[in-house]
Amino acid sequence: MNVKEQAEFEALLKGIHTNPHHFLGIHRQGDQWIVRGFFRDAKKCFLRDLAQNKLVEMLKVSDEGLFTTFVSGIIWYQFEVVYEDRTAYIKDPYCFKPTLTDEDLYLFNQGTHHHVYLKLGAHCILHEGVEGCAFAVWAPNAKRVSVVGDFNQWDGRHYPMRCLKYSGIWEIFIPDLQPGMKYKYEIYDANQQLQLKTDPYGLFFEEAPHNASIIVREDTFKWEDEPWLMKRAQTYGQEIPITVYEVHLGSWKHTVNERGEKRPLTYRELAENLVPYVKDLGFTHVEFLPIAEHPFLGSWGYQVTGFFAPTSRYGSPEDFMYLIDTFHKNEIGVIVDWVPGHFPKDAFALAKFDGTALYEHADPRQGEHPDWGTLIFNYGRHEVRNFLLCSALAWLERFHVDGLRVDAVASMLYLDYSRKEDAWIPNCYGGKENTEAIDFLRYVNDTVHQYYPGVLTIAEESTSSGRVSHPTNASGLGFDFKWNMGWMHDVLNYCKKDPIYRKYHHNEMSFGMLYQYSENFMMVFSHDEVVHGKGSMVNKMGSYFFDDKVSTLRALYAYMWGWPGKKTLFMGDEIGQVIEWDYCKELDWCLLRYPNHQGLQQLVKDLNVAYKRYSFWSQRDQQRSGFEWLDPDDSPNSVFSFIRRDITSNQTLLFISNFTPVERPHYHLGVPFSGTWKEILNTDANCYNGKNRGNLGTLVTQDIEQNDYPYSLNVYLPPLSTLIFSHAIS
């Protein structure tokens, strides 16, 4: 070897060569071509010309295991490496051109490569006529990156990668690797420390504690949901009925394994059990608490380490596809919780990925979340924005997901979120708004809607930040919907009160209408309301007797369904789960042996059916003209009444809720239209385990003016109930 070659070889030995492809592999040298292979601990190495089936013994030029030989031209070859106890047959990974183009590198560094997840990570491909796996990872400050795994005894001295120009991307194509093999990246980082990291773009992961990435072959699943996707693309979310069943897959229902131990259902078992259940209850969508890979089950999925991978707890990515495909074939949409706001500090994942604050901010005043002990993404870095955007797009493209519910948006919008006065850094304008995160969210929403019309983006935003669900060209964030957290807290605070005191808090039930049309709201009773000592939904109801608690909950659900906005209900709330949700246990399905719980479940089903039957009910969810109070101020009786209208068809629905345990046999209520009003739902009906008190099916108006309306109804109001009447002008 000449001096230059010796220097390259020494860099390879020290593990600091940034382009081993420049030294190893096949290269022109004068009139000949030299082939170099580096195999530590090898006794001999032979070069086999695959085209002519010729075998040549290579010269061992160093004790460390460097072998060379000359050939007359470019050939297809493999090494036959003789060790003490075996012979390995290896196609040379260092004779291939990069699997990423200059355009890929440029767009990624600009933060605009919308499909870079098809290039970064591990991908089984046919490259230059050879089957193998292409690896690529972004680690710009690393001194060396190697792929380690089942195929090289997890030894980072094998398969060092090359850094592609100034992109910070390290790449290698390794022939003959098979799906199912585990791998990680061994990184000799900026601090000259060795780290073992999982693949940020990995599609499948080994369960904790090892957490290795797993090679999978993509595009093998045969989707059968094309009719659903075509219909979705022509749908405008604000005008369709949307009722969402929120689910934590690991605690919905359990089965028994071969050892007699309880375990969660797999994705395919959920397809057999969860899909028909959601369909029977009439929900239009299901929403999964974060399904992306997460090592700590107690985080409920909100501390993500695999932003492109469905958790392996319940099966493979293909199994997850099967679950979604089954939902779609049953005309049920799938929303997943997506968590771009923070990530955990686990050493095997994104934290200090190349020895520096790569994905996070270096300053803890920007880069650490004080409440959750997690790290905050650096939204101002192009490659980080690209990573997160591609995470969103990959769930939609690979897994045909129909919506993204974005977690903890408020924590992203404000630099001082949950921080003391001296523990945050103002933006460049001196304000508290995280302008980089705001720009990022707008970018994500616009890009998602550009590529996937009909897909929903939903913000969990707990502050009064404005224009969250307004278009980005109108200074909004671009979400389709915003969870109405304020309404949820107000109505639950009201219902927690003993009925005798509710009249003093009457405005808590009606206050939400003052801001209802400032956003496209989704009304929600979420998982956050049934944990951490907050009590189950049924036990929040402030009555002494359990029957009254259930009656109040029935009345509240009907009130919620009547209120403008789409609906989300957490699993277990539909059966009146008595204890708080426990992520380790299944729901108490045994409760369905009792009439109160059966009745509550039946009510949710009937509300969904009615919500879909009257199309104007959902079409006018976001329009002021679709809602009108009849009497929002009857605090002495704790009664609320309003109508939902369709101006074009003259159809009207009347909602009356009585939140006291007092029956009101002659409740007079002014209405805008004369004629017959049909009682279509009564939460006190026998089928819901009520006392079956009502209005015998219909009411006829009286020509008596009431509440500034020309007509009135004499209504029988059962205790703790909501009644729904329909009316159509002929």
**Are residues 9 and 148 both part of a single domain?**
no
- Number of structural domains (the chain) is 3
Catalytic residue among 407, 490, 573, 606: 407
According to DSSP, the β-strands at 403-406 and 456-459 are parallel
H or E, element range at 611? helix 595-613
Q: Are residues 85 and 109 in the same domain?
A: no
Active-site residue among 92, 287, 436, 460?
460
Does 585 share its domain with 687?
yes
CATH of the domain at 116: 2.60.40.10
Q: Are residues 34 and 73 in the same domain?
A: yes
Give the domain extent around 58. 3-92
Specify whether 407 is catalytic: yes
Task: Quickly list DSSP for 333-396.
Answer: EEEEEE--S-B---TTTTTTTTSS-SSB-SSHHHHEETTTTEE-B-TTSHHHHHHHHHHHHHHH
Cβ neighbours of 580 (radius 10 Å): 16
Last-in-domain residue among 163, 187, 214: 214
Question: Would you call 547 a catalytic residue per the annotation?
Answer: no
* Shared-domain flag, residues 607 and 715: yes
State which amino acid sits at residue 614. Answer: Y
Q: How many CB atoms lie within 10 A of CB 45?
A: 24
- The encoded tokens of residue 646 equal 């369709």
656: how many CB neighbours lie within 10 A of its CB?
25
Shared domain check, 689 and 545: yes
Q: Domain end: 74, 92, 110, which one?
A: 92
Q: Which residues 6+ apart lie within 8 Å of 335 measured at CB?
A: 244, 285, 286, 287, 288, 401, 402, 403, 404, 405, 456, 458
Q: For the purposes of burial, counting CB atoms within 10 Å of the CB of 583, is it exposed (0-12), middle (13-18) or buried (19 or more)?
A: middle
Mean pLDDT of the chain: 95
Does 227 reside within a domain?
A: no
Does residue 359 form part of some domain?
no
Q: What is residue 236's predicted lDDT score, i.e. its pLDDT? A: 85
Partners of residue 286 on adjacent β-strands: 245, 334
Who contacts 724 (Cβ-Cβ below 8 Å, separation ≥6)?
558, 562, 610, 653, 654, 655, 679, 680, 681, 682
The predicted structure's pLDDT at residue 729? 63
Do 34 and 108 reside in the same domain of the chain? no
Q: Is residue 361 part of a domain?
A: no
To which H or E segment does residue 512 belong?
none
Same domain, 117 and 209: yes
Token pair of 181, please?
A: 């093999």
Is the residue at 110 inside a domain? yes
19 and 61 in a single domain? The answer is: yes
Average pLDDT per consecutive 10 residues, the chain (730 residues; last block may be shorter): 83 89 92 92 93 92 93 91 92 95 97 97 96 97 96 91 95 96 97 96 95 94 97 90 97 91 96 98 98 96 97 97 98 98 96 97 92 95 98 98 96 92 91 95 97 96 88 96 96 96 96 95 96 94 94 98 97 97 96 98 98 91 91 96 86 96 95 94 97 94 91 97 86
- Within this chain, do residues 88 and 109 fall inside the same structural domain, yes or no? no
For residue 88, being part of any structural domain is answered with yes
Q: pTM of the predicted model, to two decimals?
A: 0.95
Which tens digits make up the pLDDT trace of 606-643? 999 999 999 889 988 888 889 999 999 999 999 999 99
**pLDDT tens, residue by residue, 129-153:** 999 999 999 999 999 999 999 999 8
Cα within 13 Å of Cα(322), Cβ side = 14
Residue 728 within a domain? yes
Tell me if 462 is assigned to some domain.
no
Per-residue pLDDT reduced to its tens digit, 633-679: 999 999 999 999 987 777 899 999 999 999 999 999 999 999 999 99
pLDDT of residue 471: 96
- For residues 572 and 699, state if they share a domain: yes
- Residue 443 in any domain: the answer is no
Residue 729 to residues 55, 380, 646, 668, 713, Cα–Cα distance (Å):
92, 57, 11, 21, 16
60 and 151 within one domain? no
Q: Which of 172, 198, 214 is the last residue of a domain?
A: 214
- Per-residue pLDDT, 15: 84
